[in-house]
Amino acid sequence: MDVQVYRVPMQRLIQGNGMIKESGHGVAIVGMGIVCSIGDNVFEFKESLKKGVSGITRLADRKGPKLSVDIGAEIKEFSFLDRLYRYSDLPETLLQKARHCAQRSPFSIQTSVLSALEAWQDSGMFARENDPERLGVIVAGESTTQNYRYGLHAGFETDPEYLSPRYALQFLDTHQVGVLSEILTIKGEGFVVGGASASGNVGIIKAVQLIQAGIVDTCLVTGVVADLSPIELQGFVNVGAMARGNEFQTPDQTSRPFDDQHTGFVFGQASACVILQSCDVATERKATVRSTILGAAMNLDAVSTTAPSASGEARAMSEALRRGGVCASDVDYLNAHGSSSPLGDATEVEAIKQVFGDHVSKLRVNSTKGLTGHCLYSAGVVELIASVLQMEGEFIHPNKNLENPIDHKLRFSGATTSEKVRIAFAMSNSFGFGGINSSIVFQNTC
Amino acid sequence: MEKESIFLVVKDAIADVLPDVDTEAVSIEQNLKSLGANSIDRTEIVMSSMEKLGIKLPLVSFGGVENIEDMVDVMVDAYR
């Protein structure tokens, strides 16, 4: 029997000027897709980032009791079928499969399908013969069916017999894996990862590792939309993490990462998808590589609480740099976790200073959450896409509502307008409850 | 309720679960599998029809069903 030997990742060496001497273990980003409050697709998202458009408004009317929070950055006027046929480059048979699999599915499935289709179209993978066993899928997000379940509860109380048989499939987070693998014919590894607000980054990190280990050549990573039920919304307020929405005159003033008036995170919705591929395969098929992930790391603080830790965050950033063979002083841009949480923002500032030292005077920093709200499970994927778009477009989007920064050493982007900046190396952070720290380092390959 | 009325309710359920099927053209002798329904689709059509009719039958009642007509007959009996 023939045994295929896959290339073992090589240790990257770095020169003093930041140029990569040895390439071979980076992982290429070859496709991106998104559905969020400030864009139905990647192009619209990029335009909104450039203009500093906020998606945060009053929440749409919901069933159930009056809650202590009434703002968020929701995906509005959503229609699966209207959006499905926009991906006109994709084969008709693939779109029919998507329609059949997802037309009667919950919102969290439908949005995942749409962002995956956009990324698949972007990657050009549909136009070639793929070995399905060399494709993987990672679904990033946990407890993603809460609002779907909440919506069924009243009917269930009176007539449990009429519960749809589909429920037994659809309440499982892994249904996302089944749906995406069926639509795109993926037969390699596939699973769900959870990392609270760091879930997106955890998914990306695991995909990088699958590719580096030679287990798959290509891996789709989907950050699932946070379709929170009223219970989770109230829960985040009660634990003191979420802003209520009555603190400022208008909802779009409430998410203010690193500003001294920050009061907590604002709920945001986004489904976001990236397709990662080994550089060898991307080169061989002459793919458009939008960026290359060089290093990715996660760790734990060994705590079960909401408390962040500067040392844990610093460890994640330093390890991502080390694995990528990138010096801290070579990083031009940091997409911060920056959730607008008073303790979280201050802790991240401290961690950034530990890692970057004097380089903080040059390192450009912003947080996408000022515009999108905190997209929770998908935040890491949303912010990787935002970072790549800024790299490609040579700009840094505004750090919305940053009027009085909590720190004057860090070089935050301005509150209202984008700035023209060339980015060669970037980093994106995501931190989650339960002491989960993660960081990704990537390079402009344009 | 007449058999014909129950068949209309079932056709409504088919339209919900299988949006690509032209229910005008569906005859009572056909079976759901031939319309493209997988096992979950078929169960959902049965459950959804029962909900619309306000009847509750264990799924085993439909065990011997061969086509839409057999299914409608089970529901007609229960409705009476």
Q: How far is the C-alpha of A429 from the C-alpha of A279, rounded, in Å?
A: 23
Rounded mean pLDDT of chain A?
A: 94
Asked if B68 and B30 touch (Cβ cutoff 8 Å), the reply is yes
pLDDT at A26 over 90: yes
- Is B60's Cβ below 8 Å from some Cβ in A? no
Q: Considering only CB atoms, which chain B residues are within 8 Å of A165?
A: 40, 43-44, 47
Tell me, which fold does domain B3-79 have in CATH?
1.10.1200
pLDDT at A8 over 50: no
Of B42, B29, B26, B32, nearest in space to B69 by CA: B29
Contact B44 A166 (CB under 8 A): yes
Share of chain B above pLDDT 90, in %: 88
- Is A160's Cβ below 8 Å from some Cβ in B? no
pLDDT number for residue A5: 37
Asked if A200 and A144 touch (Cβ cutoff 8 Å), the reply is no
Q: Considering only CB atoms, which chain A residues are within 8 Å of B16?
A: 104
A295-443 classified as CATH 3.40.47.10: yes
Of A288, A344, A276, nearest in space to A127 by CA: A288
Run of H or E including A282: helix A279-284
| DSSP character string of A44-66 | HHHHHHHHT----EEPPP-SSSP
Least confident of A212-226, A250-264, B11-25: B11-25
How many Cβ contacts (< 8 angstroms) between chains A and B? 24
- Where are chain A's structural domains? 27-284, 295-443
Closest approach of chain B CAs to the CA of A129, in angstroms?
Answer: 27
User: In the structure, what pLDDT confidence band is assigned to residue B1 with cuts at 50, 70 and 90?
Assistant: low
Share of chain A above pLDDT 70, in %: 94
pLDDT number for residue A1: 40
Residues 6+ apart with CB under 8 A from A366: A257, A335, A336, A338, A396, A397, A398, A399, A412, A413
Query: Would you call A301 helix, strand, or coil by DSSP?
Result: coil
pLDDT at A18 over 80: no
Asked if B40 and B24 touch (Cβ cutoff 8 Å), the reply is no
The predicted-structure confidence for A173-201, as pLDDT tens digits, reads as follows: 999 999 999 999 999 999 999 999 999 99
| DSSP 8-state symbol, A206 | H
Contact A164 B47 (CB under 8 A): yes
Least confident of A21-25, A27-31, A234-238, A412-416: A21-25
pLDDT number for residue A446: 55
What tokens were used for A51?
Answer: 């203009």
Provide mean pLDDT across the span A345-370: 98
| DSSP character string of chain B | --HHHHHHHHHHHHHHH-TTS-GGG--TTS-TGGGT--HHHHHHHHHHHHHHHT----GGGGTT--SHHHHHHHHHHHH-
Contact B44 A159 (CB under 8 A): no
Chain B residues 4-33 within an 8 A CB cutoff of chain A? 16-17, 19-20
Give the Cβ contact number of residue A10 at 10 Å: 12
Write the residue in A100, A104, A165 that is nearest to B47 by C-beta.
A165
Contact A162 B17 (CB under 8 A): no
Query: Would you call A226 helix, strand, or coil by DSSP?
Result: coil
Write the residue in A104, A159, A163 that is nearest to B17 by C-beta.
A104
**β-bridge pairing A425-432 and A57-58:** unpaired
User: In the structure, what pLDDT confidence band is assigned to residue A80 with cuts at 50, 70 and 90?
Assistant: very high
- Is A165's Cβ below 8 Å from some Cβ in B? yes
Of A348, A362, A368, nearest in space to A411 by CA: A362
The predicted-structure confidence for A89-100, as pLDDT tens digits, reads as follows: 999 999 999 998
pLDDT at A377 over 50: yes
pLDDT number for residue A445: 83
Residues 6+ apart with CB under 8 A from B32: B14, B41, B42, B45, B68, B71
- Is A92's Cβ below 8 Å from some Cβ in B? no
Provide mean pLDDT across the span A31-38: 98
Angle, alpha carbons A72-A77-A81 (nearest 5°): 135
Q: How far is the C-alpha of A45 from the C-alpha of A53, rounded, in Å?
A: 9
- Is B80's Cβ below 8 Å from some Cβ in A? no
Longest distance between any two alpha carbons in chain B, whole Å: 32
pLDDT number for residue A2: 43
Of A156, A139, A90, A141, nearest in space to A117 by CA: A90
Of A166, A169, A172, nearest in space to A146 by CA: A172
Query: Would you call A386 helix, strand, or coil by DSSP?
Result: helix
- Is B61's Cβ below 8 Å from some Cβ in A? no
CATH superfamily of A27-284: Thiolase/Chalcone synthase (3.40.47.10)
Closest approach of chain B CAs to the CA of A82, in angstroms?
Answer: 15
Q: Considering only CB atoms, which chain B residues are within 8 Å of A166?
A: 40, 44
